[in-house]
Each structure stands twice: as C-alpha cells, then as structure tokens.
Amino acid sequence: MPELPEVQALADFLRERTDGLVVTGVELGSFHVLKTFTPPPDALVGAPVDGVGRFGKFLDLDCGGTHLVFHLARAGWLRWSEALSATRLRPGKSPIALRVRLDDGSGFDLTEAGTQKRLAAYVVNRVEDVQGIASLGPDPLAEDFTEEAFAAVLAGHRMQVKGLLRDQSIIAGVGNAYSDEILHVAKLSPFALAATLDPDQVARLYLALRETLAGAVLAASGKPAKELKDAKRAGMRVHGRTGEPCPECGDTVREVSFADSSLQYCATCQTGGKPLADRRTSKFLK
C-alpha cells in the first residue's frame, strides 16, 4: 500500500507532468471505483489541472475548481503514459479502474490488482466533501505538528502504539510498513501502550516519525511512478524482511501475523530480546 512518502512522490510527479494541461476525458473501467454521483466525471472534461495535492494517503487533482480525489488502498496504483491508447476503456475488461486523458495525449490509469477492489475515486467540489479526508488527523510532517502536539496525541489514547500510528483519524499518512520502520528506529515495541510512554520514549518516537518519513519522501522524490514501489521495498529496514538480520544489531527480524496483515520487528532492539506472541495481544511468549 502506498503511504505518505509514495503518495507525496506521486503528487509531485503528477504536478510536474500535468502543469498547463487540460482534462479531455475521464473513463471508468470499473463502476464501483467512483464513490460519488455529483458532480459527474464529465464535469472534469475541459478543465485545466490547476494543482495536485496530498491529504494523508489521498491524492487530489484540482481541475478548475472541481476535484478528482483518489485513494489507492492496498492494491491500487497509478500508471502514467506519455501517449495513452485511443481505445476507450470497457468496464470489467481490464485491471484499469479509471483513466484520465489530457490534451497532449498523455494521461494516467488507476489500476488495482486482486479481488478486494478497495481503490476509491471521488469527484467533488470541495476536498472536505470526501469523508476520509474530513476525518484525517494531523499530517506528521506539518510544521505545526510539534513534539508537544504529538505527546498530547499519545497521552489521549490508551492503545498500542503500532495501531495508533496507523490510525488515519489520529495521524494521517502512516501505514503498516512505515509504522514498523518508525518503531524500529525509535526502539519501541509495537505493542507498547501509547499513553504510558515516558518522555524519553515520546521524544524518540517523535524524532523517528519525522525523520523516517522525511527521509523516505526525499528518497522517493523525483522518481517516476513506476519505480516507487521497488524503491520503497529497497529502503525498508525491518518491514518485509522477516528472517533477515537486523541492520542495527544483527539479530533476526521477526514477524507477528494477523488475519490480513503482519508486522516485523527486532526483538533485541525493540522488546528487550523477548519475542512477541504471534497473535493480537501485547503479551510475550512464555
């Protein structure tokens, strides 16, 4: 799933390539991808792309005051083409969920692999009309997201810190992969309770949050959309690296599996050498 760094890179990528262009077509390859009814997708046709922005994991194309907002979810992606095929999309005939055409012949497809089909697109007059954006927590890279503000967020939630980092209504933009990375850098257990962290732990976690995301944004900057997935995987310290040596201490990276996801961590760096139980609990294996 693309998270804040990749979504920011996609926003920058689209902003550069759509500057000065006009939307000439919006085609649906899957009817379920569009979550709004008014304005219709045709309201975008003929409008200039005035800007591209990011809200958490949402991308926003401002097209003459009408917004195309989309969320790539777990298996979605953006595929850019300098010369799109002239053939119109046929619903249900390809993994392409939505296509946007621009007046120089370029454009992009939103694609989604698998069967879950969670990719979502919205055509709205205000980005705040998208419920997922309206309910977002603060952006962790915003200038006003200070350590004091972060400490207040943690103090207000007696929940596991891994879950807090992933909750978009609490902090926007962090998902499963970067929460693993942030907690490894901060040397904290993913099952630690947010409200019980001491000041030193809060400071470490805040610094790890900001520096990990900022570093990933910098690493993704300037890369074309097709290279971002591989770049993300290559930059991971522990996430997706079960069984490999920890880059800090050399211990084996371990995994906790859930019904539909997993987390990775280093026991030596994060849990005092004790393996975590492989279930939804904060207890250690006996």
**Per-residue confidence of the chain (286 residues) as pLDDT tens digits?**
899 999 999 999 999 999 999 999 999 999 899 999 999 999 999 999 999 999 999 999 999 999 999 999 988 999 999 999 999 998 877 889 999 999 999 999 999 987 778 999 999 999 999 999 999 999 999 999 999 999 999 999 999 999 999 999 999 999 999 999 999 999 999 999 999 999 999 999 999 999 999 999 999 999 988 899 999 999 999 999 999 999 999 999 999 998 788 999 999 999 999 999 875 444 444 3
Domain count, the chain: 2
Decide: 249 and 255 in contact? Cβ < 8 Å.
no
How far is the CA of 44 from the CAs of 14, 19, 40, in angstroms? 16, 15, 8
Give the closest residue to 282 by CA, choosing from 158, 162, 191, 190: 191
Could you list the residue range(s) of the whole structural domain that residue 223 is in?
A: 147-270
In the prediction, which pLDDT does 283 show? Answer: 46
How far is the CA of 195 from the CAs of 158, 168, 171, 186, 210, in angstroms? 5, 18, 15, 16, 19
Q: Are residues 243 and 177 in the same domain?
A: yes
Q: Are residues 18 and 108 in the same domain?
A: yes
Decide: 195 and 222 in contact? Cβ < 8 Å.
no
Q: Is residue 278 part of a domain?
A: no
**HSE-up of 238 (CA within 13 Å, CB side)?**
32
d(CA 209, CA 153): 13
CATH code, domain with 34: 3.20.190.10
In the prediction, which pLDDT does 115 show? Answer: 73
Q: Are residues 42 and 157 in the same domain?
A: no
The answer for residues whose C-beta is within 8 angstroms of residue 199's C-beta and 6 or more apart is 151
Q: Is residue 140 part of a domain?
A: no
DSSP E strands in the chain: the ranges are 23-28, 49-55, 58-63, 66-71, 76-81, 96-102, 107-112, 120-124, 253-257, 262-266
d(CA 246, CA 250): 5
d(CA 203, CA 136): 23
Phi, psi for 269 (deg, rounded to 5): -75, -30
Decide: 69 and 50 in contact? Cβ < 8 Å.
no
